[in-house]
Amino acid sequence: MDIGKVSTVSRLPTSTLRFYEEKGLIESIGRHGLRRYYSPDVIDKLALISLGRNVGLSLDEIGEMLLPQGFQVDRDLLLSKADELDKKMAKMTAVRNGLRHAAACKAPSHMECPKFLRLLNIAGKNRSRPKNRIMSTLKA
């Protein structure tokens, strides 16, 4: 497939595909003249990358885990990423509960509502800021 086809089926702009290739996340199977050609396999790989981005992994993190044949590398890394996801989900659950409570609670100030504070303090454990960066807005 050429890059245009990959772009339409993956729903990613060609600029992003070139950028991913430059970063070593995907590779073309060759060129026809200047033009990149891709194996259809790239589609699944791109889906995996998008999924990773969607759950908050950086391109570098994804790159560490993603060899030509899918997720791989040392199993410990994979498992530790899985654990990180679990931790983050625990926090997200607390925040979600806090939001639902705030939406339901009649208290004038949530900062003084013990239930609200309790919900969020559970998650407040381990309150470190991320070392490098941000996360997608939950648009996804």
Site for its own copies in 67-96 (CB under 8 A): 69-72, 75-76, 78-79, 81-82, 84-89, 91-96
7 binding DNA? (CB under 7 A): yes
CB of 25 vs DNA, minimal distance in Å? 9
Please list, in sequence order, all residues whose beta carbon lies within 8 angstroms of the beta carbon of residue 38, skipping any fewer than 6 positions away. 1, 2, 3, 5, 6, 26, 28, 29
Q: Is 70 helix (H, G, I), strand (E, B) or coil?
A: strand
114 binding its own copies? (CB under 8 A): no
The interface partner of residue 91, options being its own copies, DNA, none and the CB cut-off 5 to 8 Å by kind, is its own copies
Site for its own copies in 7-66 (CB under 8 A): 11-12, 41, 44-45, 47-48, 50-58, 61, 65
The interface partner of residue 122, options being DNA, its own copies, none and the CB cut-off 5 to 8 Å by kind, is none
Q: Name the residue among 85, 102, 100, 98 with its Cα closest to residue 124.
A: 98
For residues 39 and 21, what is the distance between their CA atoms, to the nearest angstrom? 13
Instruction: Please state, as a whole number, how many other Cβ atoms lie within 10 Å of the Cβ of residue 97.
Output: 17
The interface partner of residue 120, options being DNA, its own copies, none and the CB cut-off 5 to 8 Å by kind, is its own copies
139 binding its own copies? (CB under 8 A): yes
Output DSSP code: residue 128: P
Q: Is 27 helix (H, G, I), strand (E, B) or coil?
A: coil
List residues near DNA by CB under 7 A: 2-5, 7, 13-16, 18-19, 31-36, 53, 58-60, 129, 132-134
